[in-house]
Amino acid sequence: MDDLDYGGRAKIGLIYPAMGWVMEPEFTAMAPKGVSIQTTRVMNGSTDKEGLNDLIIAGTKQAASLLAAIPTDILMFGCTSASFCNGVKYEKNMIAEMEKEFGLPFVTTSTAVAEAVKAVGAKKVAFATPYIEDLNVLAKAYLESCGIEVLNTKGLGLLYDKDMDATPLEKIYELAKSVDVPEADAVLILCTGVRSVPIIEMLEKDLKKPVISAIQASMWYSLKTLGIDTNEVKGFGSLFEK
């Protein structure tokens, strides 16, 4: 270990729902040498729209202020559903407000996923989630407003992060395989509360197409925004080659 291991190249400030525990180890696994992850949690309850809006309104700005005090080099809002549930316009306004207040790049998982889909050249996608159907409808609307056609969706119908985070990798693997359709250019695994990055390369081999997960895309887009070469990240999918 040397001083570089303490975020000598960059510090990513992660804002994450309090009930979750999956994103941090997966983020750390993907982080290039010299990039560290600092996390501040925000209290959350259910993952229906009402619960997600409580998370956004009550906690995000306070969490950002704590991370900005370090200071980190970028703020990542690591909750997929909370960043898409009110649509693209709301999300862009939130990003602009946060960047103005804290003077740091502020990025969201939903933006990261949309940018990742474009980076791999996909026009049509299928996506798997742990969500209830109401949230899948909002996710589809968000992606389509970004110019991405959604051909198929499947959710596990889970309402609480503790159940999402506890879902085994094997179950996520089978869910992602089952949602694929031949016409889809890529398969997405949405939600930063489900395990995903260890199975991405295996899924890409099986499906013969890019696989993008919310956590993987969040790291890729954070590094891209920081100007760090994403090719340094190996073993977590073809996205990092883009």
Read off the pLDDT of residues 192-226 as tens digits, 9 standing for 90 and up: 999 999 999 999 999 999 999 999 999 999 999 99
Q: How far apart are CA 172 and CA 40, in angstroms?
A: 26
User: Could you give the CA distance from residue 77 to residue 13 in angstroms, rounded to a whole number?
Assistant: 9
pLDDT at 49 over 70: no
**163 to 19, 46, 65, 197: CA distances (angstroms):** 10, 11, 29, 18
* Helix, strand or coil, per DSSP, at residue 41: strand
> Residue 52 above 90 pLDDT?
no
**What's the pTM value of the predicted model, to 2 decimals?**
0.94
SS3 236: coil
pLDDT over 70, % of the chain: 93
